[in-house]
Amino acid sequence: MPIYEYTCCRCSKDFEKLVFGNQEVSCPKCSSKEVKKKFSVFCTAGTERPLAGTASSGCTSCSKTSCSSCR
Ligand SMILES: [Zn+2]
């Protein structure tokens, strides 16, 4: 059974959830559905700063958000 780790975008709570199919996941703490799977894309709201080179400090000379080759 697939258990995924999520982070809530609203209250930054980390939690694990069994997910079946396209079931919606909501935060057990604040019931927000703005949650992100930890293994895929991180949300930037309410969480710690993303890794260096992403988001606001993203590279301007290429379209990637994380580049290590062009500077
Ligand atoms: Zn929450």
- CB of 58 within 8 A of CB of 49? no
Calculate how far, in angstroms, residue 56's C-alpha sits from the geometric centre of ligand 1.
Answer: 24
10 C-alpha to ligand 1 centroid (Å): 5
Percent of the chain predicted with pLDDT > 70:
52
pTM (two decimals):
0.52
Cα separation values, 10 from 4, 22, 60, Å? 18, 21, 29
Percent of the chain's residues with pLDDT above 90: 31
Q: What integer pLDDT is reported at residue 4 of this predicted model? A: 87
Which range has highest mean pLDDT (3-7, 38-42, 48-52, 60-64)? 3-7
Q: Residue 60 is encoded by which pair of tokens?
A: 């301007």
Which amino acid is residue 8, in one-letter code?
Answer: C
